Structure 1
Amino acid sequence: MKLEFTEKNYNSFVLQNLNKQRKRKEYWDIALTVDHHVFFAHRNVLAAVSPLVKNLISNHDMKTTDELFITIDPNYLSPTTVDQLLDYFYSGKVVISEQNVEELLRGAQYFNTPRLRIHCNDFLIKSIRRANCLRYLFLAELFELKEVSDLAYSGIRDNFHYWASPEGCVHFMRCPPVIFGRLLRDENLHVLNEDQALNALINWVCFRKDEREKYFKKFFNYINLNAVSNKTLMYASNKLMGMENSSAHSTLIESVLVDRKQERPTSLLSYQRKGALLDSVVILGGQKAHGKFNDGVFAYIIQENLWLKLSEMPYRAAALSATSAGRYIYISGGTTEQISGLKTAWRYDMDDNSWTKLPDLPIGLVFHTMVTCGGTVYSVGGSIAPRRYVSNIYRYDERKETWCLAGKMSIPMDGTAVITRGDRNLYIVTGRCLVKGYISRVGVVDCFDTNTGEVVQCITFPIEFNHRPLLSFHQDNILCVYSHRQSVEINLQKVKANKTTTSVPLLPNNCPLDVSHAICSVGDNKVFVCGGVTTTTDVQTKDYTINPNAYLLDQKAGEWKTLAPPPEALDCPACCLAKLPCKILQRI
């Protein structure tokens, strides 16, 4: 009789014991030296995973009793990385992070281990984001990782307006000429306008003038001077005086300025590159008069006081929510005639004019607040049915493609006002909740830390709001909360709230703000409002009507301005501030 027995996980058992022998320096026959650190190993194991070691053994005609010594330059691989590589060779396990991925790629290159290179490549693809795409592009070019290179370049191109800003330029000034020139040449480069592209070129050259002045002539040709404002052209002309062989460029600038004096003033918008970004407010969903749901997506171009239809809605609903993150707009939830709380979620690509269905929210929500913080999309609070509020804060995980519970507010609320500060904190200010069985807007501020998933600061104040307040940070620690009747300034450091005389004026139609309006802060103390239900006194047959106008509030002056009317009068639409590429105008 014959029986065959197979040990479970025998390969792992053998390698684990070999690794223990390595660490105890038993039966070793190869040593790796790095900066006075010596690592002992077994050449059979290393030869099995590394063609480099195998070739060294075969080329030197080594005997079984011989010992092999390899000296590694510490400027290329650190002792810590060599130790990690040996653990990987023996166990097949490796922990990759942004801090060690470059050295692990060097290790994969040095020992010629393609599997480790694949792991590093996969890590870079999964972890790429705005803050690291410039560094990842350097790594991709250095180690010839094409897919990473394409993704990183797209990340830089799509966020060039950030990299060229004071916040991002500290790192971007070190961008190599080959990458910088490629970006300026790209018609789809996402700049705020051509002024920013020209300023970025001047700043980049001046950062290392002796090295980069020779590139200016070539890169200057990538700038469309007709799209640059007079102010920036004159600034550039003054800067060129300090550069060699710049007379031809100065002449071109002067020619544009002279032509403009002789012609009627025209908008610079038509000259911008396709990727130039337009500050816009995007309106999605909502309900029309007589109960019909809106099926269009509309954009208000702030600079031009112009409305455009961008796309069709992937679903029809009101009381949904939206936020933008880079080139995408995210929408979720809402209510229809049949369902009071939808779980559905979608993403709109502004560059490609396409919709992508996302995984459903964990629960159906209406009047929740979507917001973007640190490039991540969150859904804050909401209600699942009338008078049934939730405190949940959900985060959309792009890598796992799922909605995760990020944490909870201090009390269940819907219709909250949310403002972000930095890439970490959400400030959730007052919402509708139940107080002793009655719907109320209590005075509360939750500071939610997205890293820890906790409300790290909760401040209450004795003010009850009758609408979603307007929020702003006037100083680092002073959160301003404005409403029609009462306003408050909250010192977050001292945890103290003081009432202020500043208030929000009624809309030009003498109606107050409420949860049915689309409200969006557009920067520089400006607030956009459109749609919503308005109470009327001159119409006898109806108690209310839908506001057909759009307004812009100058908070410093305390005055409303009536804007171009939107294509549709909508009740409870979603809205968000977005940067639309100029090519949308050509597409439409």
Structure 2
Amino acid sequence: MTMGDMIYEELEDLMHFSVHDLPGRGYAVMEEIRRQGKLCDVTLKVGDHKFSAHRIVLAASIPYFHAMFMNDMVECKQDEIVMQGMDPSALEALINFAYNGHVAIDQQNVQSLLIGASFLQLQNVKDACCSFLQERLHPKNCLGVRQFAETMMCTTLYDAANSFVHQHFVEVSLSEEFLGLRAEELLELVGCDELNIKAEEQVFEAVLAWVRHEREEREPRLPELLSKTRLPLCRPQFLADCVQQDELVRCCHKCRDLVDEAKDFHLMPHRRPHLPAYKTRQRCCTSITGLIYAVGGLNSAGDSLNVVEVFDPIGNFWERCQPMSTARSRVGVAVVNGLLYAIGGYDGQSRLSTVEVYNPVTDTWTRVASMNSQRSAMGTVVVDGHIYVCGGYDGKSSLNSVECYSPEANRWTVVTEMSASRSAAGVTVFDGRIFVSGGHDGLQIFNTVEYYNQHTGLWHPVAGMMNKRCRHSAAALGSQLYVAGGYDGSGFLSGAEVYSSVADQWSRLVAMNTRRSRVSLVANCGRLYAVGGYDGQSNLSSVEMYDPETDHWRFMAPMVCHEGGVGIGCIPLQPA
């Protein structure tokens, strides 16, 4: 056998040869041929403008024309096709896009391009236009972008613009677009829970500015608008000096009745239960991202820590910040006016009544008034600018007592006690009320749930959870209340439940990836974060995030300095 025979026998009878850039070069050649006006077999007409092209290129690149030319529509046999309702320059740009895959988007053409791309079913160009608009949202244009997005059924852009309006409400209310809103649009806006405001007075001032812009036509709508404004949340001095004295309010008896209702809220607390719940519910913009602070807790040996670290959910990283003066595990944490309060807890030897407050601007801790009782493993929430601590453990027994702290007065007062002693319960604010779920009294673990109406000082029972649990955590997100993790007396839990106040009913939620007792749950930017805990064998530094849109938990960056048992607080970042 010769060498030539050996080579011939070992080689296959097939070789693949390809030129990878041929399709791209082919489109470039076709574009040049079109520019020369050669081999074109169709003309697209908009008004007096005509554009020649090749059917095969249009069909290959633009879904609208693929459907037209491949399905024997009337137009497939026409040499000239009239394109109704399209902007000529947008059509020309999109024809060019069919040949070269490039389109230049700017402030002048973005809307016409989006309309044209939507008509031609060019989803990628439509998405690019939406991204362009979303990246350039501004208080002066966001209402117009939102309306345009709704018209074009661009859901992602609409949601982004809507969130921007809520986040920047005060600046938006000073814009020409705001003054041009229809009454129905303004009613919907001022009725929204999600407005990012420092005080309800800002909503009142925005409403009056809108009415005064076209007073004769809009003045009859003022009572309806003020009924959506939460006047009881305005300061009494503002109600007396500004609202009551305003000329528009004084000449309308329905408006005066609303002011009287708001004044009665402050002067006669016993009437507060008769007000609709929304009128006294603080607005809270949940779409604003916040920094999550992990406070105190435990190390791997089970020792209490004074360590504090902060999580950036956008960058997905933790970094250490100034430690507390006192080691605290099972500590209560609350955020009021951008300040972080660390309340009570356990220092490794005794339960604490002391409180210290962290200022993230100065990165410093200072002491404030102590609670009336020593307690750890209590629930801590903020309502109407006041901090409430519910239950807990004082070193001897579980507690049913509740205390309320006024930052302005720097004073703790005892309020109505819960119906049962509860240590390690899940506590959160939901529908403007304090909800307390589960916990234990030293003898039994509960599935019961009750809520506190701070206006009446009364506790009310609601439907119990499906599982009894303690050492779990609770958080409210949107129109639902969530509980996750904990311990049921026989095992450590990964399961979660969700409560609907409308149905007064609990249902199961997809479980976390990890069993977590002593977990901390916090809502941030439309998602839930489960931080740390104990899985039955070791303390946890891991963090999971639940997204209601995907109904899925996924792991985030773990804590750097902690091994579970932390208190959690979220300080919102003001939008840029």
Where is the strand percentage greater, Structure 1 or Structure 2?
1
TM-score between both structures, scaled by the size of structure 1? 0.46
